[in-house]
A and B are shown apart, each in its own frame.
Chain A
């Protein structure tokens, strides 16, 4: 019981901190940077539900993100619906695509599944590039309101929105990993055949996993056009989005729900600092180097490093 309440206190504190920051800070860049970090966090948490908990590597994260963004654009062109409605619909659309991806796991496992997701993202990119209604390769503009109710600025509202969405995603991911379902997903990751023979409904759990991943990525992508005000296929299907979604959980640790959170906050913050102080090109280089270093030296991420450290201390103390 203590642990559960501790988590929810943390969630409330994070939310409160966000609102305090919104009330106090004048520097708009803080909200801009915060938004980007939180967007990465949702993507990382989403990737980890399938990649970390279930053991299916998705290289096509940018595809889900972009479909989320373009669903919002298409609906915005069609009728100027409220942003929250766009986010919900984008989540549903990407959830359905995620569900479809889940059926791929019937035939494709391991590296073949990963290749299929990558190919899927490319297919989606060429479809969007040739769809004039959402701007095609020229892209689309979104006019954002100059004033928004309750907030000092639009970007401040977007930051709080992203914060709320991230906290929801983290709570869902934590629930998935700590419930009975979490053990089922882990058994699929470790050995799918054995899991099935131990009574785990592997297909159903995989479908839930891919769908949750899709919904979260769609939700992360939907506000993006309003955040950047201009979107084209190149920026929505940006390779860096997919790479970050993998790098953040790998750096934090994929086996537990807080791994991608740690990874996203750490890597996301470093990227923002480097972008501002040095250059935005270097920031891409840093992701690559850090990712390779972790995969080679600490495959279980920062969480794994701490666990090893704690174990050594415990054994040393005996």
Chain B
């Protein structure tokens, strides 16, 4: 944590793709154990933002500070080691591995320096129980259904023993009851002390889950506030629905 008590602090971040400005001087922060929402219309820069946070992309200007430490130039695997974990919008399981082996990758790499190696399997099984996979650890991850893939994606991100979990549209395309299942998992892992940044288009989920929300539009931050404040904000309404 830095002097302000912030877990993650993004300061004046700008990201360009050629001449296109994907993010323009965006600042946001995340408090420890917070449930933060990041919303905005398609193409507003949400995924770019989390790519810059997780290290998949590097920002041209501004800085990313994690627990008071400047991490702007660090490669993604270093940030994972520090405790920033993410799930992918389109699940990316290690297809030739079993569910348990998928969990062991982050355990043996991202969390290697932070967790007693003898407890890897127990910890993995505990997290799998959290998402309801306790009896399916040996199943091949290549044959999972869409909702199960989303759960594995979250479980694997959690296996990295993060302080921050970035959940990139974990619920897109799921049915209403499946959304509730995934939300339940996200609540549970937040109870374990993990701060969550949720990127989502499903407003019902965002409003129910998040304590605070940032709204991006065309690479600009246009609003910040509690779910109630965001729902009543005319700028947000305009961004989503037009004039």
Contacts and interface: CB of A to CB of B under 8 A. Distances in A.
Interface string B78-101: 001100011010001111110001
Nearest to B94: A190
Interface stretch (A23-31, A125-133, A193-201, A237-245): A193-201
Interface string A186-206: 110111011111111111000
A184 interface: yes
A167 to B, nearest CB: 27
Contacts of B105: 183-184, 187, 195, 198, 200
A255 B93 CA distance: 17
Nearest to B159: A198
A199 B111 contact: yes
Nearest to B117: A180
B22 interface: no
Nearest to A202: B77
B54 interface: yes
Given A183-B101, A191-B94, A198 B75 contact: no
Contacts of A202: 77
A187 B80 contact: no
B76 A196 contact: yes
B111 A194 contact: no
A199 B112 contact: yes
A191 B88 CA distance: 12
A191 B110 contact: no
A180 B112 CA distance: 10
B110 to A, nearest CB: 3
B56 A193 contact: yes
A202 B108 CA distance: 14
B95 A190 contact: yes
B109 A200 contact: yes
Most A-side CB within 10 Å, residue of B56, B75, B80, B156: B80
Given A183-B104, A199-B111, A200-B109, A193 B77 contact: no
A200 B95 contact: no
Interface in B39-87: 54-56, 75-77, 80-81, 85-86
Given A194-B88, A196-B75, A199-B77, A186 B108 contact: no
B94 A187 contact: yes
A186 B97 contact: yes
B96 A255 contact: yes
B222 to A, nearest CB: 28
Contacts of A183: 101, 104-105, 108
B219 interface: no
Contact of B97 (A190, A199, A203): A190
B96 A197 contact: no
A121 B158 CA distance: 44
Contacts of B81: 199
A183 B108 CA distance: 9
Given A180-B108, A184-B105, A184-B108, A197 B56 contact: yes
A194 B94 contact: yes
Nearest to B111: A199
Contacts of B227: none
A201 B109 CA distance: 8
Given A183-B108, A199-B109, A193 B92 contact: yes
Given A180-B108, A184-B108, A193-B56, A198 B96 contact: no
A180 B101 CA distance: 11
A187 to B, nearest CB: 5
Interface string B160-181: 1000000000000000000000
Contacts of A189: 96
Given A180-B108, A184-B105, A200 B77 contact: yes
A198 B93 contact: no
Nearest to A198: B106
B92 A194 contact: yes
A246 B105 CA distance: 28
A198 B95 contact: no
Contact of A199 (B56, B93, B101, B110): B110
Contacts of A194: 88, 92-94
A203 B77 CA distance: 10
Interface string B108-120: 1111100000000
B97 A198 contact: no
Nearest to A179: B108
Given A196-B80, A197-B54, A197-B80, 19 more contacts: A183-B108, A186-B94, A187-B105, A190-B94, A191-B94, A193-B56, A193-B88, A195-B105, A197-B55, A197-B85, A197-B88, A198-B80, A198-B85, A198-B106, A198-B110, A198-B156, A200-B109, A203-B75, A255-B96
20 contacts: A180-B112, A184-B108, A187-B105, A189-B96, A194-B88, A194-B94, A195-B105, A196-B77, A197-B54, A198-B105, A198-B106, A198-B156, A198-B160, A199-B80, A199-B109, A200-B109, A201-B75, A201-B77, A201-B109, A255-B96
Interface of A: 180, 183-184, 186-187, 189-191, 193-203, 255
Enumerate the 5 nearest inter-chain pairs by beta-carbon distance, A residue then B residue, closest first. A199-B110, A199-B109, A199-B80, A190-B94, A194-B92
